[in-house]
Structure 1
Amino acid sequence: MPTIVLASALVINALMAGLYFGFSTSVMPGLARTDPRSYVTAMQRIDESIENPRFLAAFTGALVLPIVAVFLHFGSDGGGRLPWIVLGAVLYGATVVITGAVNLPLNRRLRTAGAVTDQNAPAIRAAYHDRWTRFNTARTALCTAAVIALTVALAQPLA
């Protein structure tokens, strides 16, 4: 059971890292090439769409599963795995903190910006894009590091 939970934690963290990576490498650069009004409207639709049960299950599961794996390995024969699992949980936890402190508030401001016009779209975009993208890149790096830590944990033999 501990190995199954750890493997599941690894997979779900890899899914989240892939999501963040996709935004960093294609979605945000692609949207940056659009006009400001299209950019703001598209990001509002993306924000609405991502709030769904599948995403929320992955987002929370990527934190919960490593924590469960810590408890399952604590005091067991998986001592060599434990520091790596803790590291993976902490790294992903940092992405949750960034999401809650930076990305979600920016998304809320974007969502409540009101009617998007050609006149206000450039200012809305300017207040959003660089900061959101910079912190999403940090989430990508942290989540990727969590995947590496969980991979190393899984590679450790059970005693």
Structure 2
Amino acid sequence: MLGSQLQEAQDTAQSAGFANLTSTDATGQGRAQAWDRNWRVCSQTPESGDVDPETLIVFSVVKEGELCPASTEGYLAMPGDEMPSYVGRNLMDSINQMAALTGEVTAEDVTGQGRDTENENDWRVCATTPAPGELIEDTVTFQVVRNEEECPS
């Protein structure tokens, strides 16, 4: 339901037997979602999965055309969102926020040593492509170093 219109997300949840639904402005501005078709889902709590139908489902939303804030709990980047700054963050956490992209999400060792970045917890982000503030299309590359190393200048 992430990335879908709020109305569509609510309809899907209700058809699956969930009736306890609410939504909140993901920007923190406290705006009411009076016309559900004008809002897009950035995240939901709890996440989709094996959940009791009596559980309260909260959709964090932004108006259509707005960017989902990276600080949104459970934030997943969508094509068309602005790339957040991941500099200094753990590679695994950063990659997890890209899980909704259907394109390629890669990591490359920026030291020039060509090391495998497979154990994502051992690496931290120095830079990204696209750069922070640029729009995410469907491909993201994290330039990384091992946790104990310095990012190149």
Query: TM-score scaled to structure 2, two decimals?
Result: 0.25
Give the strand-richer structure, 1 or 2.
2
Give the helix-richer structure, 1 or 2.
1
